[in-house]
Amino acid sequence: MTEKLLKATWFKGRRGPVVLVIMDGVGFGKYPEGDAVASATKPTLDWLLATCPNTRLKAHGQAVGLPSDADMGNSEVGHNVIGCGRVFDQGAKLVSASIASGKMFEGQAWKDVSGNVVAKNSTLHFLGLFSDGNVHSHLDHLRAMIKRAAQDGVKKIRVHILLDGRDVGETSALEYVDPFEEFLAGIRDGGCDARIASGGGRMHITMDRYGANWSMVERGWKTHVHGEGRQFASAREAIVTLRKETKAIDQDLGAFVIADQGKPVGTIQDGDSVVFFNFRGDRALEITAAFEEDDFTKFDRGRRPQVVYAGMMEYDGDLNVPKRFLTSPPAIDRISGEFLCAMGVRTLACSETQKYGHVTYFYNGNRSGKINAALEDYVEVPSDIVPFEQRPWMKGAEITDVVVEGILSGKYDFIRCNFPNGDMVGHTGVYQAAEIGVECVDLCLGRICRAVEKTGGVLVVTADHGNADDMYEHKKDGSVVIEDGVKKVKTAHSLNPVPCIIYDPESQGEYKPQLRSGLGISAIAATCMNLLGYEAPADYDPGVLEH
């Protein structure tokens, strides 16, 4: 049973709610050129930064549980850390350690997938995001598993690659495919038939999330499982041809199937094993359901092969999905929501589909459902199924409608929301659209500020990581990379700090106007508890307020 929080003696809370706004993908840029946050017209955010207590928080690397400070933060780990108030080792670090120690290969899940293939002389398939972005997956993990499978006696391996261009360079696919083909050639020289079998852009096939667009998963299923689709002799030929024909960046390239004389080289058959090698859960759940669920209704799977399926990690601990996984996820416990529910705090959480799971599932330590249905309301605003650069305002107005109504209703003590624009639009690489996305969030902030002022609440503005603040690739000297006379677009997250702003219109000077510096986004949980009138648990990272 969760222990009760102590009442703060130095701060009694306000008459209105504490409102936490997470501006996804909005950080402080390092370079003036390419910072769509700085160049956007954003009078509300500028005014908040100029007049309210604020500080900068770390949102990447070890501050969010990733292996090194060279690793960009992401929405999954960002919301984990914001919601639990401490830093846990996250997926990338846990998988790397499990491989290095050999623990992964000693586990029953690995023995199941490799042993099944050896016993039946069948095929071991690897499916996942094909890059070293270290946000959803890492190629080092894939290589290590392929090497071990060959050592274990697996004779046939097929790899189904989801091109990135989002957590890495937008047209960097061949930088990964070419050396990987050389790696596979070495595996074949050792007696294991290892080949790339299919692929496509991550935003076109397979990696949907939150049920936003099941047609992506259906396209992936047909491509990887049935070998249906346009055929090419190699992944390189597919990428070069599709890029030339469509001008699309990697994440949006169409599906392709590798074939010999018209026959796909790697369809998934009865008796095979499949490893989905993404460690991050949000974009793994839907394809996992297609493989595992008997009563699956999202699309017609046609022939459903009977396989031994495993995920890199457990993607949903409450639902036990997948049934078999190679590495145990972080055991995130004693999350802030549990403490607030124990104190009877009434909570509203809201975002649109693209980030709804982040402000609920990930915020709650990778747990589905509510902590206390009597105290919590979760609202999902359905996202548009269009390229984000075409409607960069996304569902900002609708999210704000829910939040403002919640503030004015008097029903809630704590309200949290996520505006996805800075991240989802930033990933497109379209600078003007990213600016518009930030400007939309700024308009929404203005409406929320007025509601907070009217009700005597407190507003906390922050972000889970940067993105729109770093839209161009830069050289070490700070200049923009130019290719063919054009500025090279960056679609990945940034390593930049993010804001933490406290807008407290009824402040009586209970805390110092100078907020703590040098903290990470794990400070947000304690900060919100303090503003609600409670001391944070002793093992939580400190909040930004000093008194």
428 alpha-carbon distance from chain centroid: 15
- How are the residues of the chain apportioned to helix, strand and coil, as percentages rounded to the nearest 5? 35, 20, 45
Amino acid type, 45? L
Which residues partner with 327 through β-bridges?
313
Q: Which of 75, 98, 122, 522 is catalytic?
A: 75
**Strand extents, DSSP E, 316-364:** 325-327, 347-352
CA–CA distance from 323 to each of 15, 98, 282, 313, 371 (Å)? 47, 19, 16, 10, 23
Taking CA atoms, 350 is separated from 99, 378, 491, in Å, by 37, 6, 26
In sequence order, the 6+-apart residues with CB closer than 8 A to the CB of 299 are 214, 215, 217, 218, 221, 290
Bridge pairing between strands 273-276 and 308-313: parallel
CA distance 31 to 38: 10
Please give the structure tokens belonging to residue 235. 């992944």
Asked if 75 is an active-site residue, the reply is yes
Take residue 114 and report the two structure tokens written for it. Answer: 């490799």
Give the bridge partners for 273, in sequence order.
Answer: 124, 308
CB 204 within 8 A of CB 240: no
Q: Using alpha carbons, select from 476, 539, 501, 502 the residue that is nearest to residue 56.
A: 501
- How far apart CA 357 and CA 363 sit, in angstroms, is 8
- Report CA dihedral (157, 162, 163, 166) to the nearest 10 degrees: -140
CA distance 70 to 46: 29
- Encode 129-161 in three state secondary structure: ECCCCCCCCCHHHHHHHHHHHHHCCCCEEEEEE
Q: Which residues are catalytic?
A: 75
